[in-house]
Amino acid sequence: MMKRLSVLALTVLTSSLLLFGCGKEESTPEVPEVTQETPAEAPEAPTEAPAEAPAEEGFVDDEEIPAGMIRSQLTNEFIDESLANKRPIAVMINNIINAVPQSGISQAGVIYECVVESSITRMMAIFEDWESIEKIGPVRSCRDYFVYWAYEWDAIYCHFGGPKLYVDSVLSREETHNLDGTSLDGTAYFRTTDRVAPHNAYTSGSHLLKGVERKEYPLAHTENYREGHFNFTNNLHPNDLSQYSDAIDAAYMAPGYLVNKPWFEYNAEDGLYYRFQYGDKHIDVENGEQLAFKNVIFQNTYYETRDAKGYLAFKDHDDTLDGYYFTNGKAIHIRWKKSSDFSPTKYYDDNLNEIQLNPGKTFICIVQDQKSDAVVIKDSAGNIVVGGESTEASEEEVDMSAEE
């Protein structure tokens, strides 16, 4: 059973989903405005919240960096030095069954996944070397909690509309550099004919460059950029989690999402976690590759339901909650902290030391804290190490009408 920690009151709220037709702007959802108040019975935070826990002392990056290369902020892998000050893009990816397989997502260095209304999930893919990518999508609408995760990378946020009641306050901020398809369809985005709207909106590097030019956004990092988002080790000193006596065997794990029911399987031959959803491999249709990650994080996050239509709010800023870190077939229990809009989320072990991620791609599953008992972790023999209590969705939870 996943170790549970206390939660603070909701401070950063979220959410939403709007339909959009071909070339038409989204309308404001007819939902009642809600007053965001501190939950009446929110428990107190623990006395030992992760403060400014240092990275592991004594680590020196002694791996030789090839000429003309630098380390990626997203993956710590070697990339061309021309990308040294280049802003990434953060693209909202449609993840309903009608929208798969998706395009371009295997090229993302970091992917976030989080539940929206109707128990479906949406993903936000972070791309570093994005200008030459020919097709990304399908692209869908904004959720305001995703914007705060995009802030962490100083990313240009790419989406197709969003519910004005819940997203206008963050999208209208001067520091939110976003490319909205409701005003940039045909410029930053294009439509395909193989799918019906709203599942046929896509973008590409060249289209996004046109959108950036139209909006006059800088391509170089802004003053909000924070270096050192993840605390990486290098290829000479891989982190196999053997330093943790309580590390568990983790050959299979599922975050407990009710509709797409995703899971990850560890491949010992290449040391990667391969992703599945909707009962099959999660594929990028552009290259036929199954999504695979060196690092996977399950991040328990406090949430509330905003209204009768099921729009959600997630608390991005926190220092009281926990989760799991998976790499090299093992897992440890972790805690996390995000202290301000543009500060990166930091991850700590139970001794409050910042964990070290291995070089490679990272997938972050935002798990609803109150439903985190649905998480399942199995060892290499198929035995349940951490067991889920419920992985079935009720008819009330899965109402696809809002998405369709």
Indicate the pLDDT class of residue 388, thresholds 50, 70 and 90.
Answer: confident
Over residues 167-181, mean pLDDT: 97
Give the pLDDT of residue 58: 59
Give the pLDDT of residue 59: 78
Residue 5 has pLDDT above 60, yes or no: no
Higher pLDDT, 41 or 74: 74
Average pLDDT, the chain: 87
pLDDT > 90: what percent of the chain? 80
pTM exceeds 0.75, yes or no: yes
Residue 151 has pLDDT above 90, yes or no: yes
Residue 316 has pLDDT above 80, yes or no: yes
Over residues 33-38, mean pLDDT: 34
Residue 15 has pLDDT above 50, yes or no: no
Cα–Cα dist 168/166, whole Å = 6
Long-range contacts (CB closer than 8 Å, 24 or more residues apart) made by 388-392: 388/254, 388/256, 390/256, 391/254, 391/256, 391/258, 391/261, 392/258
Residue 2 has pLDDT above 50, yes or no: no
Over residues 23-39, mean pLDDT: 35
Residue 4 has pLDDT above 50, yes or no: no
Give the pLDDT of residue 393: 52
Give the pLDDT of residue 23: 35
For residue 3, count other CB atoms closer than 10 A to its CB: 14
Q: Which residues pair with residue 158 across a beta bridge? A: 91, 179
Domains and CATH numbers, the chain: 70-391 (3.50.90.10)
CB 319 within 8 A of CB 52: no
Higher pLDDT, 278 or 4: 278
Least trusted range by pLDDT, from 56-70, 263-277, 281-295, 313-327: 56-70
